[in-house]
Amino acid sequence: MTRLVVTGVSASYGSTQVLHDVGLTVEGGSTTAILGASGCGKTTLLRVVAGFHAADAGEVRIGDRTVAGPGFAMPPERRGIGYLSQEGNLFPHLTVAGNIGFGLPRAERRDRARTAELLELVGLPVALADRRPEQLSGGQQQRVALARALARRPELVLLDEPFGSLDAGLRSTTRRAVADALSAAGATVLLVTHDQDEALSFADQVAIMRDGRFVQVGAPKEVYSTPVDRATAGVLGELVILPGHGDGDHVITILGRLPVAGADVTGAVDVAVRPEQVLIGPAVGAVGSVGAVDAVVDAVDYFGHDALVRIVLPAGPEGPAPVVFSRVVGDDAPTPGQLVGVSVRGPVQAFPHTVVLLAPTDPT
């Protein structure tokens, strides 16, 4: 089990600085996902760790070896890493078996048993060994690329948005197969992605990067429920923003007096609520009502497994009628025009009020 430690890494392309003094630790055998928008620098960090890009400053240690430091960088072929890119990059002139055996010493390349073992590890039938890459589907290609990377039993595996080019249906099955293979291999994994579902489900640790810096690093649940700022909260999932007024460890909103997760707040705040926290029940006054506020259902987006309900709250003294979204199980979806009672479950996030240029009717 090898630990990856990145300390104080800064990197640039030409005259543009892309990474600013970045640090990260990935414990041996665990998976960390770096999540961020395109252009934030996450791929650059991955390439620095892999050895494809030279950092301007900082240090990278894989296990007990320092592979990059001030004034020197070990070439990629000596770092003992596995690297999987978005396009898979299987060698078109070799068969699947040829690709898998590429990184092995010549004696082992012909070892059909090892090839079969690796194909099984990534969940592919052994019969694929003699096919050519262009005969495989996208998901199969990515799995072969993983088998190829794992063939050398690398200490550290780096994944650069590996599922981005797959069709949605393939994506989740491939993801699961890759995750299983990696944990079976006991590798330390660093994944880079802009897809929040991927980051949250795949990783033991999520690191949110923005403009070349980490803004928050922690377990998925922690990052999701207590994001450090509003923008980070928005990266990880949908949000509903309501105006509110801080009152110590509670905040007063149109949906009632709600407990705040995190530090006490005072003054005008933006309250961030996840749609799954917004509960819909019978209207106030009806039998079994639990809600704090009555509101009219404006629209329902039905997805089969769940539904997103758009609810218009009664307008307050200042501003237009707030709109909230509620995520409910598909069977429980109300009908448009229905009067429902709206309440919030669980603590909410409160951030200092910022002027938002977008109309506050869309979930951010």
Partner 1 sequence: MTTTTPGRLAGPAPRRHPSPAGGALVLAAVLVTAVSVLPIVVVLVNALGQGWSEAVADVVRPRVWELLRNTVSLVVVSTSACAVLGVTCAWLVERTGLPGAGWWRVLLVAPLAVPAFVNAYAWVSLRPAMTGLGGAVLITTLSYYPLVFLPVSAALRGLDRSWEDTARSLGLGRWRTFARIVLPQLRPAVLGGCLLVALHLLAEFGVLAMLQFPTFTTAILDQYEAAFDTGTGSVLALVLVALCVAVLTIEHVWRGRRGHARIGAGVIRRPEPATLGRWLVPGVSALAVLVVLALGVPVYSLGHWLTTPGATVDGSALAAALGSTIGLALAAAAVTCVAAFPVALLLRQRQSAFTTSIERLCYLASSLPGVVVGLALVLLAIRWVTGLYQSATLLVIAYAILFLPRALVAIRTALAQAPGALLESARALGDSPARAVVRVVVPLALPGILAGLALVFMATTTELTATLLLAPTGTQTLATGFWAASSSLDYGAAAPYAVAMVLLSAPMTWLLLRQRTVIA
Q: How far is the CB of 241 from partner 1 (least distance, A)?
A: 29
Q: How far is the CB of 96 from partner 1 (least distance, A)?
A: 14
229 exposure class (CB count in 10 Å sphere: 0-12, 13-18, 19+): middle
Nearer of residues 170 and 283 to partner 1, judged by Cβ: 170
Residue bearing tokens 């377990």? 219
**CB environment 146-177: b (16+ within 10 A), e (fewer):** bbbbbbeebbbbbbbbbbeebeeebbeebbeb
**Distances, alpha carbon 39 to alpha carbons 32, 194, 209, 262, in Å:** 19, 10, 10, 30
Nearer of residues 68 and 145 to partner 1, judged by Cβ: 145
Picking from 213, 216, 159, 210, the residue whose alpha carbon sits closest to that of residue 182 is 159
SS3 label, residue 339: strand
Nearer of residues 129 and 280 to partner 1, judged by Cβ: 129
- Give the residues across from 112 on adjacent strands: none
What's the longest Cα–Cα distance across the chain?
Answer: 79
Q: How far is the CB of 123 from partner 1 (least distance, A)?
A: 17
Question: In the complex, which residues of this chain contact partner 1 (CB under 8 A)?
Answer: 38, 43, 50-52, 75-77, 81-83, 85-89, 91-93, 102-103, 137-139, 141, 145, 148-149, 152, 161, 164-167, 170
Nearer of residues 64 and 77 to partner 1, judged by Cβ: 77
Q: How far is the CB of 212 from partner 1 (least distance, A)?
A: 16
Q: How far is the CB of 76 from partner 1 (least distance, A)?
A: 5
Nearer of residues 156 and 328 to partner 1, judged by Cβ: 156
Nearer of residues 89 and 226 to partner 1, judged by Cβ: 89
Q: How far is the CB of 260 from partner 1 (least distance, A)?
A: 38
Angle, helix 138-150 to helix 112-121, in steps of 10 degrees: 120
